[in-house]
Amino acid sequence: MALDRWLALIILGICCVYGYTAWFLMDGSLAPFMRRNPVWPSTFPKILSIVCGLTALWVLVFQHAPPGEKAGEVDYRRLLEYKLQQAGGLIALMVGYALTLRPLGFLLSTALFLAIGAVTLGERKYHILVPVALLASGLTWYLVAEVLGVYLRPLPILF
């Protein structure tokens, strides 16, 4: 089965869970006076669950890609031939950045993110990379925190 139909199947599953919540779980906690209203918090989700479920089925059943169809920008059928490791490394790096932003502070975590990100992509000119990463993180912190007034903890949580 092609990837687009797998995704339609996943969306159909999401619609089922969403619809079950809207049709059977949400109305239980509704206050008695709200039950007289013509519209409940679950009304719109109930409509959406049906329409979305039917559309997902439409894609799943009737949307057959013609044989020999031209692949998209990146052909998922040849995904292993692309730089999958680099992409995975950068995704892991973003998760790491999210987890270390507060404990390590903005300056250190950002400089590390930029430097490790560039190294992951193959950059080896450390004499350029490290100053650029440090300068960019310092400049961004100054603009965001000092000029725009949005608080960003600059240093590790210990300080």
Query: Under the rule (CB under 8 A), what is the footprint of another protein?
Result: 2-4, 6-8, 11, 14-15, 18, 21, 26, 37-39, 41, 43-45, 48-49, 51-52, 55-56, 58-59, 62-63, 72-74, 76, 79, 82-84, 86-87, 90-91, 94-95, 97-99, 101-102, 110, 113-114, 117-118, 121-123, 132, 136, 140, 144, 148-151
Nearer to another protein, 151 or 159 (CB): 151
What residues contact 120, with CB distance under 8 A and at least 6 apart? 86, 89, 90, 93
Kindly report the number of other CB atoms within 10 A of residue 113's CB atom. Answer: 21
Question: How far apart, in whole angstroms, are the C-alpha atoms of residue 153 and residue 103?
Answer: 9
Q: Which of 88, 144, 90 shows the shortest CA–CA distance to 113?
A: 90
Taking the least distance from each CB to another protein, the nearer of 73 and 159 is 73
